[in-house]
Amino acid sequence: MNRVLVTGATGFIGRFMCEALARQGHTVRAAMRALGPLPAHATECAAMGAIDESTDWNRALDGIDAVVHLAAKAHAMRPSEASSQEFHATNALGTQRLMQFAVKAGVRRFVYLSSVKVNGEGRADSPYTPRDTPDPQDAYARSKWLGEQAVSGIEPGLPPERVIVRAPLVYGPGVRANFLRLMRWVEGGWPLPLGAVHNARSLIGVCNLVHLLAHVLSHPTAAGNTWMASDGQDLSTPALLRQIGVAMERRVRLLAVPLPLLRLAGGLIGRAGEITRLCNSSTVDISATRRQLDWSAPVSVTAGIERTVQWYRDEGRLLVV
């Protein structure tokens, strides 16, 4: 088994990642912003401070066999919440810096969690694949694309073996942002103006995502490739809301507001981006991931949403969206 450094170990995905790796018998070292309580299932820690172009990774990588790089400046709900410089510093330059140190440290495999937003903001005619020409539309997506290039481009042909995984929206216990807001809407029983939306979106439950990331950590075919991730079942926004409603035992009331009017209202209240994400289609093709990696999502969408709703009932109601 390996000694694995997990960046972003205290985050939403990182906590599940540490658990998945520990259950497989790996020794987990958690890269943390500051010293504090270890994440559950991690046995070592490294305090890193901010992740940017000046981070010193020497101690964190000492004796490490593999890296799972999850830490990132997250996509902002509104443009004002984060500057393009912040995204670039952490997601592009920070990843480049980590990759440089990983090469020098002799790390054998490096797994980088990227985003389907590198492909674009969604399209109705066909799902995204790793072969598509990248079309990042905002500062976050561009920084993740630059991060991918840093992973692939630094000392190509030399260790570590590099694996890139592009994920769509991730949900599960501990989720924030849009998915948390959807659960609050359903619980509140408010009429939602999304009945006229006929889209399809790929999602991935956090347990499915970390299962895939742990899988590519050792699979021989994974190295040197970019893989798309999802639950394997695409949902429309109304279907997702109904699934949440079933898990909550709440009736979901959907009003068929015409999409042009809905988009206009979103722009007027400063939520144009959020409305776009709720209305547009954005799907990914995971056929290569399934076939070449012999992988399938272990948790169904229904079970994943039920787990997320149970967490919401226990803890999520208290969180600030």
Residues catalogued as catalytic: 140
Contact 174, 232 (CB under 8 A): no
The radius of gyration of the chain's CA atoms, rounded to the nearest angstrom, is 19
- Tell me how crowded residue 56 is: count the other CB atoms within 10 A of its CB: 11
CA distance to 17, 40, 47, 73, 225, per residue, from 64 (Å): 16, 19, 15, 24, 22
